[in-house]
Structures are given as structure tokens and as C-alpha cells.
Amino acid sequence: MIPFLKDRIKDYDANQFINELVEASKLLGELDAKIAGCKFNSVLMPMLHQKEAIASMYIEGTQTTYSEMLKEEVEEKPSKAKEYIEYSNHLTALSRGADYLRMENFSNAFIKSFRALMFRGLVPSQKEVFLARYKEEQNRIVNSSGDTVFEPPSPQETGRYMNDLLDYMNNGIDGENPLIKAAVAHAQFETIHPFDDGNGRVGRALISLYMYKAGLIRYPYFYLSEAISEDKLMYYSSLTSSREGNFTIWITYFLRKVVAQAKKHIRYIDSMDELYERTKINVKEVVNSPKYEAIIESLFKRPIIKSSILADRLNVSVGQAKRYLDILESKRILFSLEGKKNKRYAFAELLDLMR
């Protein structure tokens, strides 16, 4: 039987990760300042949501890419239907979760509904009612060989453990560093394993939502799945160590991932800023239209685009939108993808940047 968080709040040695904690806090502050002054928040935020969805899906074994999902977004009938539903559900859950937490605290009802949003349309319709419920049968955590490495609390115990976790997450006056609390809360959620499926992706999304609610970040944008996906075995190993009496190894791993991802996001913003300014000059030179700024914003929001989408965004005819896109293709600002029918255009520099 695992201990409750109230009984192990100080179950770590902060001296072992003080340098990582200082660096992570510093970089999150730097990143927050950059985002506050960013010229294209309306472009950056959806992009970071999209990358989180792809990375979290990858950790769970869904093999797809950022570019593939962007291609599916412009199609009336996505060819990768299941992957696209999974991807779009993830985006919806992240957005609605942040909206909810602007005014409300974490609750069992919120976490259950968040999980239901993530899996809507991915299970038979008669089973969707069970998506907003905690597990009703005992589950287990297994390794790559299928061997049980940990047995979480039983369905009968899950409610008590989740209430304990929620009390911890909602307590803003306990004096604990919120970055440490973000790490501990994630480890405890994964240990409780409250759902029969989807605990990993729900738990990773809750990291960012907790950081946002705790005031570590001003915008709900910072996700760790991309960094975690680079060494999944260490992620699972560090989580296992947190169940063996000490959070120190796990918190150290977590903080190092915060540092790595914050540095990556800072590079994204700096590179996107430079690309935005360069693209603005290039598009203005070749598109003789007062709509050139709207065209640029459309390309950053939709780095894979087709004429009908641009026409809607600019409020012009499809023919006029196609002429704009063809001009940009002729100047190698855009590149056309396969097929002449329903032609799609790719903003390759931005896609390369976001790999």
C-alpha cells in the first residue's frame, strides 16, 4: 500500500537537485517574459499545443508526425482518422482545461471530464459513458515484456488517494516550491493510475495545467512530453524510484526535463521571430496587396494550407487566394505537396523549425 502525500511531503533531499531547481525557475521566468513580448502569441500557443499532442501520442505508441497531422487538418476526410481524432481531442482537452482552471480548482469531476474529452470517439459509443469514471477493475503497470512492475491502489482505494492528491495540488499555502509540487503531483497521479487507460497522457497534460494554475507560467503552454519522449525508459525508471520511498531521483529528472524544454522553447521563439521578420519582408515584396500581413499570419497558423482555407481567412475568392499561394510558391516561400487537385502548400521553413 502506497503512502498518502500528506505523509510524505518532505520525502526528498532538495540539496540533491538545488542547482536544477534554480536553473529551471530562471529559465521558466525567461521564457515567460519572451512569450509575454512575443509578436505572434496567437500562432505560437496553438503550435506548442500541437507539438505536445504529437509527443504525448508518441510516448503511448501512436506513430505520427507534426506535418502529417497538419496535412490531415486541411482535409475534409482525414485519412488517418483514429490518429487525427486522438490528436484533435488532445488539443481540445488542453484548451478547455486551461479555460476551466482560470476560475476553478482541480477536482475529481474536472479530471474525469478531462480524460473523457481525450478519448471521445476512440471507444465504442456504448462505452463512452465509462470514460468519465475512475477504474472499476484492478489495473497494473507493466514493463516492455508485459511483466507487472507495480500494482496501483485498488478501485476501492482510488477515490481516497485522488482526494489526497487534489488536496495537495489545490493547497497554495503549504510553503512547498510549486515546481517540486508539479513533479510530486505527476508521480503520485501515475502511481495511483486512476483510470483503466490513458493515465500517461492525462498525467502529462496535468503537469502543464498545474504549473499554470500554480502561477509558474502565465500562459498554459509549457509541456514536457517532447523532452520526455527523448528518453522514455529513464522517465519510467525515475517514476518507479518515486514509489520506493524517495522522490529525489524523480524530481531531479523532472527538473532537468523542464530545463531542456524551456531552452528548446526559447530557441523556438527566437527562431520564429527571425523567420517572421524575414518572411514579412519577402511576402511584402512579391504580393502586391494590403492583405500581405494577413497572408503571413495565415501561413504561420497553417504551415500546410490550401486555397479554400486562405480564402476564408482573407475573405477573398478561392481563385484570388490561389493566385497569392502560387506567387509564393514561384518565389520558393511555399512548396506544393503532391497532387494538383485540391492542391496543398507547405511553409517548409516553419515545418523544419518545429520538428
Residue 38 is given by DSSP the state -
41 has a pLDDT exceeding 70: no
CATH 1.10.3290.10 positions along the chain are 13-268
Domain 287-353 bears CATH identifier 3.40.50.300: no
Question: Across all residues in the chain, what is the average pLDDT?
Answer: 89
119 has a pLDDT exceeding 70: yes
Q: How confident is the model at residue 91 (pLDDT cuts 50, 70, 90)?
A: confident
Three cell numbers written together for 318: 478561392
- Give the pLDDT confidence score for residue 49 in this predicted structure: 74
Please give the angle made by the CA atoms of 223, 227 and 232, to the nearest 5 degrees: 120
pLDDT, tens digit, 9 for 90 and up, residues 46-89 = 777 777 777 777 777 777 777 777 777 777 666 667 888 888 88
Residue 132 is given by DSSP the state G
Nearest to 11 by CA among 197, 176, 189: 176
Domain 13-268 bears CATH identifier 2.40.50.140: no
321 has a pLDDT exceeding 90: yes
CATH 1.10.10.10 positions along the chain are 287-353
Comparing 127 with 260, the larger pLDDT belongs to 260
- Give the pLDDT confidence score for residue 314 in this predicted structure: 94
Quick one: average pLDDT of 294-318? 92
Distance of CA 347 to the CA centre of its chain: 22
- Please list the alpha-helical segments (H only) found in the chain: 18-36, 41-59, 66-73, 81-101, 108-119, 155-170, 178-192, 199-213, 225-228, 232-242, 248-286, 292-301, 307-314, 318-330, 348-353
pLDDT, tens digit, 9 for 90 and up, residues 287-297 = 988 998 999 98
- Give the pLDDT confidence score for residue 77 in this predicted structure: 67
Spatial distance between the Cα atoms of 330 and 304, rounded to a whole number of angstroms: 16
* Amino acid letter, 47: M
Residues in the chain: 355
Spatial distance between the Cα atoms of 293 and 193, rounded to a whole number of angstroms: 47
Cβ-count burial 79-99 (b if 16+ within 10 Å, e if not):
ebeebbbbbbbbeebbeebbe
Comparing 37 with 213, the larger pLDDT belongs to 213
- With contact defined as beta carbons under 8 Å apart, do 253 and 238 qualify? yes
To the nearest whole percent, how much of the chain has pLDDT over 70?
Answer: 96
- Give the pLDDT confidence score for residue 69 in this predicted structure: 77
pLDDT, tens digit, 9 for 90 and up, residues 252-266 = 999 999 999 999 889
- With contact defined as beta carbons under 8 Å apart, do 302 and 71 qualify? no
- Give the pLDDT confidence score for residue 40 in this predicted structure: 67
Residue 229 is given by DSSP the state G
Three cell numbers written together for 110: 474536472
